[in-house]
């Protein structure tokens, strides 16, 4: 055992234990640590927004190098502040409208191509898709299962018609695929959560208490 003598390691460890204390019940230590987290995280963000973006990309070129065109995004950016001034709060819609417009516009061709066209191409039964898994002849069978699975899953989520007859059968098959998929997601979720706990225990037992190396 080789306990750390670094005061910052002790601060980290005590904050870690404060958060873990929530497992027993909600308490002032937990709440204190939780609020510190939000404060520090936002202070960190402000620091880098200033040093990485606003100074080198706006204030320096505008005020030191005289790139006057930058006055336009500067003024429109400032309009975000009007959100907190009731009389002119509508002006915040201008920077939001511009930003949202561009993002939404750019998303349309990107989404169609990446999520609809490419994914459809990956589903249809082609010789190229049969090779996707390097599984030889079984690739054909797997492609058929995948194709049927996608169609049946879609039919399960189709609620405009009662699930009877053919739709009843396909949606029943669809739910099988959905449950296998959700089960897989749950299995992996367990791994994710445990991994995060291991990370903290490695810190407490290693960096702080020196029990593990």
Applying CB under 8 A, which of residues 36, 124, 125, 169 lies at the interface with another protein? Answer: 36
Whole-number Cα distances in Å, 40 to 45, 95, 97: 9, 27, 30
| Nearest to 31, CA basis, from 22, 40, 39, 23 | 22
Listed in sequence order, the residues at least 6 apart from 158 whose beta carbon sits closer than 8 Å to its beta carbon are 167, 171
Binding to another protein, residues 100-159 (CB under 8 A): 100-116, 118-119, 121-123, 132-134, 142, 145-146, 148-154, 156-157
- DSSP per-residue string spanning 145-162: HHHHHHHHHHHHT--SS-
Compute the least distance from the CB of residue 87 to another protein, in Å: 10
Given the structure tokens 């082609």, which residue do they identify?
126
Contact status: 161 vs another protein (CB under 8 A) = no
27 lies in the site for another protein, by CB under 8 A: no
Site string for another protein, 42-61 (x = CB under 8 A): xxxxxxxxxxxxx-xxx---
Could you say whether residue 96 binds another protein (CB under 8 A)? yes
Q: In the bound complex, what is the minimum distance in angstroms from residue 64's beta carbon to another protein?
A: 14
Residues 179-208 that bind another protein (CB under 8 A): 179-203, 205
CB–CB of 178/158 below 8 Å?
Answer: no
Could you tell me the smallest distance in angstroms from the CB atom of residue 167 to another protein?
A: 14
204 in Cβ contact with 10 (< 8 Å):
no
């Amino acid at each position: 055992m080789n306990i750390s003598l670094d005061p910052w390691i002790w601060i980290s460890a005590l904050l870690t234990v404060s958060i873990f204390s929530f497992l027993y019940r909600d308490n002032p230590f937990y709440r204190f640590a939780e609020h510190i987290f939000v404060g520090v995280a936002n202070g960190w963000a402000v620091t880098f927004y200033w040093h990485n973006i606003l100074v080198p990309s706006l204030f320096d070129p505008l005020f030191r190098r005289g790139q006057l065109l930058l006055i336009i995004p500067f003024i429109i950016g400032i309009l975000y502040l009007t959100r907190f001034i009731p009389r002119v709060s509508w002006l915040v819609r201008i920077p939001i409208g511009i930003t949202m417009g561009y993002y939404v516009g750019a998303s349309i061709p990107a989404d169609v191509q990446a999520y609809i066209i490419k994914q459809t191409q990956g589903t249809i039964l082609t010789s190229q898709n049969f090779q996707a898994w390097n599984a030889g002849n079984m690739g054909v069978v797997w492609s058929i299962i995948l194709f049927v699975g996608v169609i049946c899953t879609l039919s399960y989520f189709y609620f405009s018609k009662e699930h009877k007859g053919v739709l009843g059968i396909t949606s029943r098959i669809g739910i099988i695929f959905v449950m296998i998929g959700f089960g897989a997601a749950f299995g992996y979720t367990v791994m994710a959560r445990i991994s995060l706990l291991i990370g903290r225990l490695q810190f407490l037992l290693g960096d702080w208490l020196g029990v593990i190396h």
